[in-house]
Amino acid sequence: MANATRGLFIAGNWKMFKTNTEARQFVLELAQNNPTHPQVDAWVAPSFTLLAGTVSNIQQAGIRLNVAAQNVESALEGAFTGEVSAKQLKDVNVAGVIIGHSERRSYYNETNASVNAKTKTALAQGLLPIVCVGETLAEREAEQTDTVVTAQTLEGLVDLTPQQVATIVIAYEPVWAIGTGKVCETPEANRVCGVIRQVLAEQFGDVTAQAVRILYGGSMKPDNAEGLLGSSDIDGGLIGGASLQADSFAQLLAIAKTTVEKLETARV
Ligand code: 13P
């Protein structure tokens, strides 16, 4: 993490896993061992059917854990069968939403334009957008990584003010590293997060770029998290597989806590 002000952001993307019983079990287990630090922002992103229950289980357990959805419709209401609006998410006290995950881009045809529309809606409705960017293996092999993430970042954030951009979270998730066990090497993950921050600085100004939290996602686990979270331009993780079990999620939170503490000590 580049600076103690940004802190670290640890978000578990549960994807299409867990029933309500399993989600409740996760919260109860995490409550037994929940390493917290004021500068570590902890989130889980369950499926729509689990959102209300998870919010209420967290409240009952009294733990510091925020809840995000995995998608949102950009329209506020209307005839959109199968979709869920920002207003409906707010209604069950959801605080954020993952937007433009690569699985949504590749399986559900989401584009930079739809990411932009959803991000605007989320911001207008008071949901924290976690905007995902990342190149495919073919794009990496064609040396298009920087071009792709630059376009995804700029086009996803079109027409936002620097003040709005300063509040959002961006997740760099190289598609080839998601669910494959192939983690992007730490220096390379940090370099691409640095490219994203540079692009933000050029478009929205340095103050904004320094405020944005940029996460790495793709096979992050307790055994590789320390290096990633300790890198100058990586402000946290968007974690799939390793977020599904309460004990490995707690280990990731503990690593984030230690990382923040080290940084604070270094600053004194
Ligand atoms: P894995 O951690 O399972 O690779 O998933 C990453 C991801 O897609 C998080 O959004």
**Does position 94 have pLDDT exceeding 90, yes or no?**
yes
Helix-, strand-, coil-residue percentages of the chain, each rounded to 5: 50, 15, 35
Q: Which atom of ligand 1 is nearest to the CA of 177?
A: 4
Question: What span, in angstroms and rounded, lies between the C-alpha atoms of 257 and 200?
Answer: 27
Read off the pTM: 0.97
Q: Residue 200: what pLDDT?
A: 98
Q: Give the CA radius of gyration of the chain.
A: 17
Q: 102: CA distance to ligand 1 center in Å? A: 10
Residue ranges covered by each domain of the chain: 8-267
The whole-angstrom distance between residue 50's C-alpha and the CA centroid of its chain comes to 18
Q: Residue 183: what pLDDT?
A: 82
- 87: Cβ contacts below 8 Å, ≥ 6 apart: 76, 77, 125
**Pick the catalytic residue: 37, 73, 101, 135?**
101
Amino acid at 10: I
> Which fold does the domain 8-267 belong to in CATH?
TIM Barrel (3.20.20)
Residue 40 parent element (H or E): strand 40-45
Question: Confidence band (pLDDT; 50, 70, 90) for 54?
Answer: very high
Q: Which atom of ligand 1 is nearest to the CA of 101?
A: 10
Task: Assess whether 173 carries a catalytic annotation.
Answer: yes
Q: Tokens 């209420």 correspond to what residue?
A: 56
Question: What span, in angstroms and rounded, lies between the C-alpha atoms of 23 and 7?
Answer: 27
**Does position 4 have pLDDT exceeding 60, yes or no?**
yes
pLDDT digits (tens, 9 = 90+) for 187-242: 999 999 999 999 999 999 999 999 999 999 999 999 999 999 999 999 999 999 99
The whole-angstrom distance between residue 242's C-alpha and the CA centroid of its chain comes to 14
Amino acid at 123: L
Q: Residue 143: what pLDDT?
A: 97
218 lines ligand 1 (CB under 6 A): yes
Q: Which atom of ligand 1 is nearest to the CA of 103?
A: 8
Helices (H), ranges, 33-161: 48-61, 86-91, 102-107, 112-124, 137-141, 145-156
**pLDDT (mean) for 46-73:** 98
